[in-house]
Structure 1
Amino acid sequence: MDINYSPLGFLISLFFIVTFLAPQVKSRAFYVFGDSLVDNGNNDYLVTTARADNYPYGIDYPTRRPTGRFSNGLNIPDIISEAIGMPSTLPYLSPQLTGENLLVGANFASAGIGILNDTGIQFKLYELGARRVLVTGTGAMGCAPAELAQHSRNGECYGALQTAAALFNPQLVNLIASVNAEIGQDVFVAANAYQMNMDYLTNPEQFGNYNSSLINLLVVLTV
Structure 2
Amino acid sequence: MASSRVLLAYSLVGLLALGALAAPAAARAFFVFGDSLVDNGNNNYLVTTARADSPPYGIDTPSHRPTGRFSNGLNIPDIISEQMGSEPTLPYLNPELDGERLLVGANFASAGIGILNDTGVQFTLHELGAQRILVTGTGPLGCVPGELATRSRDGNCDPELQRAAAMFNPQLVQIINELNSEIGSPIFIAANAFGMHMDFITSPETYGTYLIYN
Category of TM-score, reference length = shorter chain: 0.7 to 0.9
Quote the residue 1:196 is aligned against: 196
Looking at structure 2, the residues matched to 72 and 15 of structure 1 have their Cα atoms a distance apart, in angstroms, of 15
Quote the residue 1:72 is aligned against: 72
Provide structure 2 residue ranges, at least 5 long, that are not aligned to the other structure: 1-11, 18-23
2:103 corresponds to 1:103: yes
Q: Relative to 1, partners in 2 of residues 1:59 and 1:34: Cα closer, same or farther, differing over 3 Å?
A: same
Quote the residue 1:61 is aligned against: 61
RMSD of Structure 2 on Structure 1 (CA): 2.0
Quote the residue 2:131 is aligned against: 131
SS at match of 2:181: helix
Give 1:208 deviation, angstroms.
3.1
SS at match of 2:73: coil
Looking at structure 2, the residues matched to 118 and 98 of structure 1 have their Cα atoms a distance apart, in angstroms, of 29
Give 1:102 deviation, angstroms.
1.2
Q: Relative to 1, partners in 2 of residues 1:48 and 1:184: Cα closer, same or farther, differing over 3 Å?
A: same
Q: Deviations over 1:177-216 (max 9, x none)?
A: 110011000000000111111112112233333x2238xx
Give 1:126 deviation, angstroms.
1.2
Provide structure 1 residue ranges, at least 5 long, that are not aligned to the other structure: 1-11, 18-23, 215-223
Give 1:14 deviation, angstroms.
5.3
Quote the residue 2:31 is aligned against: 31
Q: Relative to 1, partners in 2 of residues 1:95 and 1:200: Cα closer, same or farther, differing over 3 Å?
A: same
Give 1:75 deviation, angstroms.
0.3
Give 1:125 deviation, angstroms.
1.0
- What percentage of residue pairs aligned between the two structures are identical? 66
Query: TM-score, structure 2 length as denominator?
Result: 0.85
Give 1:116 deviation, angstroms.
3.2
Query: TM-score, structure 1 length as denominator?
Result: 0.82
SS at match of 1:190: strand
Quote the residue 1:112 is aligned against: 112
Looking at structure 2, the residues matched to 117 and 95 of structure 1 have their Cα atoms a distance apart, in angstroms, of 30
Give 1:15 deviation, angstroms.
7.8
